[in-house]
Amino acid sequence: MNELNLEQAEARVANLLRASESKTLEFKRVSGQMVNKTLIAISAFANTDGGILVLGVADARQEVGQKRLYGVEENPESVDDLRRKLSTQITPVIGHLKFFRWACKLRDQSIGHIVLIQVGKSDKVHSVADNGTFKRMDASSRQMNAEEITELSYQRGIRSAETEIIDVEFDLLETDTWRAFLAGRGLKSGTFPEQLNRIGLASKVGNKLMPTRATVLLFADEPGSLLASFGTRADVRIMVYDGKQAVAGATPNLRKAPKTIRGPLVELIDKAVAEVLDELAKGLTLSGSGFKTKHLYPERVVKEAIVNAVIHRDYPLNRDIFIKIFDDRIEVESPGIFPGNITPSNIDKAGSKARNPLIAQNLREFPIPPNIDAGEGVKMMFAEMASAKLFPPQYSQNTTAAVESVTVTLRNLERPTIWDEVSHWIDTKGEIANADLCKIAKIETLASSRMLKNWVEQGVLIQLPDRGKRNMAYTKPTLPEEQTLLSEDEDNKISNHY
Task: Assign 62 to helix, strand or coil.
Answer: coil
C-alpha–C-alpha distance, residues 431 and 484, integer Å: 7
**Tally of CB atoms within 10 A around 132:** 13
Cβ atoms of residues 396 and 337 within 8 Å: no
Which run of H or E residues covers position 416?
A: none
What residues does each domain of the chain span? 2-156, 231-411, 419-496
The CATH code of the domain at 419-496 is: 1.10.10.10
pLDDT means per 10 residues in the chain (498 residues)?
67 84 92 88 94 93 90 92 93 90 92 93 93 92 94 85 93 96 86 94 93 96 93 94 84 90 96 93 61 79 94 91 93 92 84 82 90 74 92 90 92 88 86 92 92 90 83 82 53 32
pLDDT in tens, 372-425: 656 678 999 999 999 999 999 999 999 888 899 999 999 988 888 899 899 889
CA 329 from chain centre, in angstroms, equals 19
Report the CATH architecture of 2-156: 2-Layer Sandwich (3.30)
Residues 6 or more apart from 429 whose CB is under 8 A from it? 487, 489
Distance CA 278, CA 259 (A): 13
- What separation, in Å, do the N-terminal and C-terminal C-alpha atoms of the chain show? 5
Domains 2-156 and 419-496 agree in fold: no
What topology does CATH give the domain 231-411? Heat Shock Protein 90 (3.30.565)
In the three-class reduction of DSSP (H, G, I as helix; E, B as strand; rest coil), residue 275 is classed as: helix
Rg (CA), the chain: 26
Q: In degrees, to the nearest 5, what angle opens at C-alpha 344 toward C-alphas 260 and 160? A: 60
Peptide bond into 335 cis (omega under 30): no
User: Residue 4: its pLDDT value, please?
Assistant: 61
- What angle separates helix 445-458 from helix 434-441, to the nearest 10 degrees? 110
> What are the DSSP E strand ranges found in 69-159?
90-91, 98-105, 111-119, 127-128, 132-136, 141-143
Alpha carbon distance 493, 472 (integer Å)? 26
Q: Residue 485, Cβ neighbours under 10 Å: how many? A: 19
Distance CA 213, CA 235 (A): 14
> What pLDDT, on a 0 to 100 scale, did the predictor assign at position 161?
87
Please say whether the beta carbons of 138 and 190 come within 8 A.
Answer: no
Residue 374 confidence (pLDDT): 60
As to burial, measured by CB atoms within 10 angstroms (0-12 exposed, 13-18 middle, 19+ buried), residue 157 is buried
